[in-house]
Amino acid sequence: MPLDYSAYDQFKISFPAEWVALVETNRPKSLNSYNLKTWEQFGQIFIQMSDDSDIRCIVFGGEGRAFCSGLDIKEMGSFGADDDDMEAARKAIKFRRFITDFQDNIKQPHLCRKPIIAVCHGISFGLALDMISGMDIRIASKDVKFSIKEADIGLAADMGTLQRLPKVVNNLGWIKELAYTARIFGAEEAFTQGLVTHVVEDKAAGMKKALEMAVLISEKSPVAVQGSKETINYAIDHTIEDGLAQIANFNTYAVAGDTIEAAMSMAMKKKPTYEKL
């Protein structure tokens, strides 16, 4: 049985299938905007699930009409309100700390050992893209409205979108156009450019597709799946030679029981059963 996740009041967390967790931002009234409390819980959930051996795959979505409408603007507005008398460098360093703490939460899906499938629908602005660019697989429903919205609020995106997208999809011109114009784009364009790998009719269909995929992944060897995530994430930031050395080291100890279980199950034409990880 998975660990206890009842303390996370900003999210709806359920377990729709064995090994599969479903995490949904649960602030529908604000179109799932994120404030300090939301993004701290966001980070904590993925830290906890990373080590929860009863979870093998995570589906991430948003309750209500929107996937995520971005930052709760009021949050930014009130930041530093009490610091007016603070010396300028200290005020700046405090603000940098705010940014890096925020980043440390938003990057948890990338660090989480379990694969994460995002299902995007409706408004998916700003922070929405920072969050999903650090997830593994992205599905969109036809009504999705994506936008690298940050330019419209006078800043360059700093929670991962601009840092990760050039390594996630690779049409640099397209990324730049979106970053410079904050233009809204839909599911088809997101699919054509590789931001999402599946377009579905609506949110319900997206959840169905995601859960099927999550179940399929959960039936595979968790050593293979988690090892693949670690290896691919390593590969995008290292040379090919370094990548080959990393997986050689990893497989030296990771190729073990699951390979035997897989081979024997194949021979016996039964479904393999893998131990928890």
Q: In the window 230-269, what residues touch a second copy (CB under 8 A)?
A: 230-232, 235-263, 266
> Which has the closest alpha carbon to 146: 123, 166, 165?
123
In angstroms, the CA 26 to CA 272 distance is 36
> Interface residues for a second copy in 162-191 (CB under 8 A)?
162-164, 166-177, 179-183
In angstroms, the CA 211 to CA 205 distance is 10
> Interface residues for a second copy in 97-116 (CB under 8 A)?
99-100, 103, 107, 110, 115
78 binds a second copy (CB under 8 A): no
Closest distance between a second copy and the C-beta of residue 245, in Å? Answer: 8
Q: Nearest 5°: phi and psi at 52?
A: -85, 105
> How many residues make contact with a second copy (CB under 8 A)?
106
Give just the sign of the alpha carbon dihedral 208, 44, 234, 158.
Answer: positive
Closest distance between a second copy and the C-beta of residue 242, in Å? Answer: 8
Closest distance between a second copy and the C-beta of residue 215, in Å? Answer: 10
Closest distance between a second copy and the C-beta of residue 109, in Å? Answer: 12
Closest distance between a second copy and the C-beta of residue 273, in Å? Answer: 11
Give the torsion through C-alpha atoms of 197, 42, 130, 234, to 10 deg: -70
> Interface residues for a second copy in 123-152 (CB under 8 A)?
136-138, 150-152
Residues, the chain: 277
> What is the β-pairing status of strands 198-200 and 20-25?
unpaired
Q: Which is nearer to a second copy, 63 or 184 (CB)?
A: 184
Q: Which of 3, 16, 78, 155 binds a second copy (CB under 8 A)?
A: 155
Q: Name every residue whose Cβ is closer than 8 Å to that of residue 154 and which is 6 or more positions away in sequence.
A: none
199 binds a second copy (CB under 8 A): no
